[in-house]
Homo-oligomer: A and B are copies of this chain.
């Protein structure tokens, strides 16, 4: 089985490839080779029992998708995207990368023709939804995104479903929760604080909380994200029928509940490293974000996330801190 990971240099891509290298197989199938594609040079590939090829390129460059599809991967993970903030700041770039890039990929597969019909796992986002929301968003809630990024992801979902229905490939679209705890340095993304207030105190550093403790949001760990991708790639997709895009499970909790979980797992000394510093801009952005989902269908289909925010913190301590708290 040959695997292609587009956007293989990103946080989720790196973790997915690490896991595939560790497992050596995808479901019951032995992996024979893996291709990592990204616009920036990813970290060195993990040790694996199969060859890992690294290709640098931009999916939105005409011809690039065709080149990748010509290698006839059996499973394609399409994780490449520019993020919400950048797609909002640069309208043309957002549509070029997130919409045109995705369409080029789907078209290249369609045009490959013959009996080539790969599995395509597409990462979408809860940004396809736009406020106002019901208390818990049901699986059949409409997609009225309030960002260009969310619009581009919602269009990708529609294309994926139609190309699948027409038999060009076997697609699954996954609306990821906010990934928490994101490893690495604090960044300027409006959502960054959800991870910062856990990761930084656990590492002995101060973290800034820019919103009030009653802000509620929807989280899953990086380990759960990898699990979502693997499950989508190995599940019986006939169970999806024509509804190919899924809101994934997660944990709905308030910032206050996040902090309480951190106290329980790591103690008051760690929690005391969180500094409250309200930021009106971030408060306003976050007010428009979804807080909770039913995700009934994905759970019934076997997608699993953590059961509590404490579990999310423990996953971070195990996977990123070698079990140690500062």
Contact = CB atoms under 8 A, between A and B. Distances in A.
A110 B148 CA distance: 14
B142 A141 contact: yes
B91 A166 contact: yes
A243 interface: yes
Contacts of A110: 91
B140 A141 contact: yes
B166 A148 contact: yes
A162 B148 contact: yes
A239 to B, nearest CB: 15
B142 A162 contact: no
A143 interface: yes
In this complex, the interface size class of chain A, counting residues with CB under 8 Å from chain B, is 20 to 34
A203 interface: no
A247 to B, nearest CB: 10
Given A146-B165, A166-B91, A151 B140 contact: no
A20 interface: no
A204 to B, nearest CB: 42
A287 to B, nearest CB: 14
A184 to B, nearest CB: 30
B140 A162 contact: no
Contacts of A141: 140, 142
Nearest to A133: B140
Given A144-B243, A243-B144, A162 B158 contact: no
A161 B165 CA distance: 26
Nearest to A139: B142
A242 interface: yes
A143 B128 CA distance: 12
Total copies of the chain: 2
Interface in A134-170: 139-146, 148, 151, 154-155, 158-159, 161-162, 165-166
A130 interface: yes
A282 to B, nearest CB: 20
A147 to B, nearest CB: 8
Nearest to A288: B242
Contacts of A146: 165, 242
Contact of A151 (B139, B144, B162, B243): B162
A143 B140 contact: no
A99 to B, nearest CB: 9
B158 A151 contact: yes
Interface in A47-89: none
Contacts of A165: 146
A80 to B, nearest CB: 20
Interface of A: 91, 110, 130, 139-146, 148, 151, 154-155, 158-159, 161-162, 165-166, 242-243
12 contacts: A130-B242, A130-B243, A139-B142, A140-B142, A144-B161, A145-B158, A146-B242, A148-B162, A148-B166, A151-B159, A154-B158, A155-B159
